[in-house]
Amino acid sequence: MSRKVASVSRGKRRSAARLAAVQALYQLDIAGGVAESVVGEFNRYRLGGEVEGARLIEAEPELFGDLVLGVTQRRAEIDERLATVISEELPLDRLELLLQAILRAGAYEILTRHDIDPPLTISEYVDVANSFFVRRESTVINGILDKLAREARPDDMGDRPHERQSEAQQ
């Protein structure tokens, strides 16, 4: 496998880190394993470069590692916070594993990464959802993360719409 890393903006690297973090969290849910090992595997083989002629976007390894390890270490707390904003008719554990991974990563970022604007975070995870699903699932992600952000960081939300420009577009 040849690894040629594409030079891309910080925003695109952060977007790629979010997507990779969701994939890693999903992998951990499906196959089990140790989060630190999965982070190492992704850093060595999956974040950036070229695989079989297809160019991969370089991901920001610091954000990627923080998301995967943070969600893994604080999963119970994150699930508890998500449970407060998810409809009782459709609890977190009844959602598809991939949707759970997206919500957990987004919730972790909203709850702990005060250096990142919540509307931006919401927009980024809606984009991640759109990578895997059609509109319905991304609407679910949007609604849940918006409600969580309004509860957890109301001063950072205000009346601003969350459909702001993603980091990848900056």
- Residue 162 CA: distances (Å) to CA of 98, 108, 154: 22, 17, 13
- pLDDT tens, 95-124? 899 999 999 999 999 999 999 999 999 999
Q: H/E element holding 99?
A: helix 97-112
Return the higher-pLDDT residue of 43 and 78.
78
Query: With bands split at pLDDT 50, 70 and 90, how would you rate the model's confidence at 165?
Result: very low
- pLDDT tens, 32-57? 989 999 898 888 777 766 656 655 66
Read off φ and ψ for residue 51, nearest 5 degrees: -125, 120
Return the higher-pLDDT residue of 91 and 146.
146
Q: What confidence score (pLDDT) does residue 3 get?
A: 46
pTM of the model as a whole: 0.85
- pLDDT tens, 136-152? 899 999 999 999 999 99
Query: With bands split at pLDDT 50, 70 and 90, how would you rate the model's confidence at 90?
Result: confident
- Grouping H, G, I as helix, E, B as strand and the rest as coil, residue 54 is strand
Return the higher-pLDDT residue of 6 and 154.
154
Q: What is d(CA 47, CA 64) in angstroms, rounded to the nearest whole number?
A: 9
Spell out the residues 6+ positions from residue 139 whose beta carbon is closer than 8 angstroms to its own.
none
Strand pairing partners for 55? 50
Task: Identify which of 134, 61, 147 has the alpha carbon closest to the alpha carbon of residue 106.
Answer: 147
The structure tokens 């809606």 sit at: 126
Q: Give the residue extent of every domain in the chain.
A: 1-64, 74-156
Which CATH code fits 74-156?
1.10.940.10
Read off φ and ψ for residue 47, nearest 5 degrees: -95, 95
- Residue 87 CA: distances (Å) to CA of 31, 44, 94, 107, 158: 28, 39, 11, 16, 23
Burial 77-109 (b: 16+ CB within 10 A, else e): ebbebbeebbeeeeebeebeebbbbbbbbbbbb
The amino acid occupying position 146 is D
User: Residue 15 pLDDT > 90, yes or no?
Assistant: yes
Query: With bands split at pLDDT 50, 70 and 90, how would you rate the model's confidence at 167?
Result: low
